Amino acid sequence: MASTAPFSRFEWMIAWRYLRARRAEGGVSTMTWISLIGITLAVFALIATLAVRSGFREEFVDTILGVNAHVTVYASTHVDEQGNASRVIDDYEEMAARIAEVPGVTRVAPLIKGQVMATADGGNAGIEVFGITEENLRTIPRIMEPEASQGDIDDFGDGVAIGSGVARELGVGVGDSIRVISPDGARTAMGTSPRVNAYEVTYIFTAGRYDIDRTRVYMPFEEAQIYFNREGVADELEVMVADPERIDALRGPILEAAGERAMLWTWRDSAGSFLRALDVEDNVMFVILSILVTIAALNIISGLIMLVKNKGRDIGILRTMGLTEGAILRVFFICGASVGVVGTIFGVILGSLFAIYIDPIFAMVNQIAGGGVWDPSIRGIYALPASLQLWDVLRAVALALGLSFIVTIFPARRAARMNPVEALRYE
């Protein structure tokens, strides 16, 4: 018999007849469905998990870069004119001008920072005050364009801007007043007395991070200097850069521009350990779910072994008719690989739909569970995010198809090497 091209039409036809055959006819349709469902669910779980992990990392990094400084410049401890240890920056305007000239730096903002107590209508909350100019406040993405806001940022000069968590804790809204209490107040002959000032709430923002919304309060820079006894100085400089991912390359130039006593703290220093933990978790989750895909793919072997056993007579007849070992191998390879391909396609569709419609799905789960499924005080962000990345989908597809094709080869080779005489001896 003349040799035929691999994967000819008749090979596909025979494989299709075997796949759809009922068990009474020697087929294994039940095992085929089990293998198909297993591959589908495994790929779905892999893509959904990778999408959630990618979304969580993106949201976490975005909230960090959208509210906090990319680089914080502060001074090392030195002795001031009164002989006291100090870490304030006296020449903050000149230092800010030098750093702003570094290529890649987009903004430099002097800051006054302090942790104090806020009270209103009997409510108390520990807050972190950031003294900043209105011009610089407008350049903070998650403050200028928050997830939700109340009031008008144009009125910032007349009061303070507070996080939605602070407002909720104190029970205040726009137009209400809060009292800010600092133990380091006015210096008198009798010592330092606590300072208590009242400020009107002019703007309430939701930045998207629970810990920030729960503690952050912005105060006009000059008012913060007076309140914290920082007249003429700044506590630190907040530096924003064009590409935060390349912050390590800018450390040297920024430090050189800042001067001898300057020290740096980047966003990677503050969140690097958490991001590294996320990377490790991503790799571990991929390995664990890869094992799940492997187990699902092994069902294909079981189905094909049963198919080869039930189709022994057919294999003997096909061989006596002239089919080569390669043709028999390809027939059963098509049977197993088709299950893997179809299951992978369905898994990709389900996983992609899960990532796209995760908000309504999660809302339904939260409603069924009676609420409280996602605690922002523990996880930091307010909702379960998902980001469907092409690379993640391609990894899942490559893994599922690769395993499906590999495990199919072994029973297919067994069928191809079956002796036709032995197969037909008792027929």
Q: What is the pLDDT of residues 115-150, one digit of tens each?
A: 999 998 878 889 999 999 999 999 888 888 888 889
How many residues comprise the chain?
A: 427
Please tell me the predicted confidence (pLDDT) of residue 222. 92
pLDDT, greater one: 231 or 184? 231
Q: What is the pTM of this model?
A: 0.72
Q: 264: helix, coil or strand?
A: strand
Please tell me the predicted confidence (pLDDT) of residue 81. 63
Residue 153 per-residue DSSP state: G
Q: How far apart are CA 221 and CA 137, in angstroms?
A: 10
- On whether the CB atoms of residues 162 and 216 are closer than 8 A, the answer is yes
Segment 299-341, tens digit of pLDDT: 877 777 777 666 666 666 666 666 776 777 787 788 888 888 8
Segment 270-283, tens digit of pLDDT: 877 777 887 888 88
Type of residue found at 353? L
